């Protein structure tokens, strides 16, 4: 008995082969000379005239035959795809993580959807901003954000001072140099807030996404082991289309 994963494995090859053959057929139909034929016979005006052999060009491509070949080419593709899609309606499996069933009896199309969404979600979560590890953070319920402990720093102000390099004399004035001294005038108390996440939290979510993604993959493989019934839709379709 054929299994769904076997049908999936051959579907891509059947599809690419069918598309290749259709492309080749379409190229042939774009060459009018292959669809055209002619016969010519020559008769001289009198018996003494020159005798010429007849000429003939055969039709190399016949449209009705092309339709029959196209039907044959696509019938296999239609049958394989139908077999897969009909099987996907019944193929299902449970998604189990660490012995806990997260979802039960999940059909293959939804498992494929989940795989894609979880891959995108993993990328998103890995890009979440993380709290600066250089700071000590605690959660502040009142602001619903993370915050640091208050840090007190001094605010200073430059105050000019005079330095007498030489005292005044009868002949010279005093030599005075001006310099600036930092004087404490107050204190800043700083508290930092952040809407980012602790690295531990991001790593936890990443780990759960990866576990669930792995479980979904296992479930899909299990569902794809379902036995299938071959569907023969192609002949019915093309018997109607090209009758």
Task: Say whether both 177 and 242 belong to one domain.
Answer: no
Count the neighbouring beta carbons within 10 Å of the beta carbon of residue 111: 24
Task: Say whether both 84 and 156 belong to one domain.
Answer: no
Task: Say whether both 164 and 236 belong to one domain.
Answer: no
pLDDT digits (tens, 9 = 90+) for 184-196: 889 999 999 999 9
Task: Say whether both 13 and 74 belong to one domain.
Answer: yes
pLDDT of 73 strictly over 90: no
Residue 208 belongs to some domain of the structure: no
Residue 51 belongs to some domain of the structure: yes
Task: Say whether both 240 and 180 belong to one domain.
Answer: no
Residue 240 belongs to some domain of the structure: yes
Task: Say whether both 10 and 73 belong to one domain.
Answer: yes
Q: What is the pTM of this model?
A: 0.67
Residue 25 belongs to some domain of the structure: yes
pLDDT of 123 strictly over 90: yes
Task: Say whether both 167 and 243 belong to one domain.
Answer: no
Residues of the domain holding 15: 1-91+231-243
Q: Where are the beta strands (DSSP E) in the chain?
A: 38-40, 55-57, 92-97, 100-107, 137-140, 145-148, 151-166, 175-190, 193-194
Sequence-separated (6 or more) residues with CB below 8 Å from residue 230: 2, 79, 83
Residue 124 belongs to some domain of the structure: no
Banded model confidence at residue 243, pLDDT cuts 50, 70, 90: confident
Q: State what percent of residues in the chain have pLDDT above 90.
A: 46
Task: Say whether both 84 and 165 belong to one domain.
Answer: no
pLDDT digits (tens, 9 = 90+) for 140-159: 999 899 999 999 999 999 98
Task: Say whether both 81 and 7 belong to one domain.
Answer: yes
Residue 222 belongs to some domain of the structure: no
pLDDT of 172 strictly over 80: no
- Rounded CA-CA distance 122/204 in Å is 12
Residue 182 belongs to some domain of the structure: yes
Residue 4 belongs to some domain of the structure: yes
- Tally the domains of the chain: 2
Q: State what percent of residues in the chain have pLDDT above 70.
A: 100
């Amino acid at each position: 008995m054929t299994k769904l994963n076997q049908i999936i494995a051959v579907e891509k090859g059947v599809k690419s082969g069918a598309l290749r053959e259709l492309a080749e057929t379409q190229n042939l139909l774009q060459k009018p000379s292959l669809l055209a034929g002619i016969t010519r016979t020559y008769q001289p005006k009198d018996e003494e005239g020159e005798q010429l052999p007849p000429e003939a060009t055969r039709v190399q491509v016949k449209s009705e035959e092309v339709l029959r070949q196209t039907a044959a080419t696509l019938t296999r593709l239609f049958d394989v795809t139908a077999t897969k899609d009909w099987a996907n309606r019944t193929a299902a499996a449970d998604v189990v993580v660490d012995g806990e069933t997260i979802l039960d009896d999940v059909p293959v199309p939804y498992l494929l959807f989940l795989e894609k969404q979880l891959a995108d979600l993993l990328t998103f979560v890995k890009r979440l901003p993380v709290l600066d590890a250089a700071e000590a953070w605690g959660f502040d319920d009142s602001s619903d954000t993370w915050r640091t402990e208050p840090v007190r720093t001094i605010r200073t102000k430059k105050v000019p001072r005079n330095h007498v390099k030489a005292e005044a004399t009868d002949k010279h004035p005093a030599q005075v140099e001006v310099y600036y001294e930092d004087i404490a005038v107050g204190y800043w108390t700083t508290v930092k807030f952040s809407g980012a996440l602790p690295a531990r939290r991001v790593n936890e979510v990443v780990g759960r996404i990866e576990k669930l993604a792995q479980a979904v993959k296992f479930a899909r493989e299990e569902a794809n082991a379902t036995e299938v019934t071959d569907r023969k839709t192609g002949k019915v379709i093309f018997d109607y289309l090209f009758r």
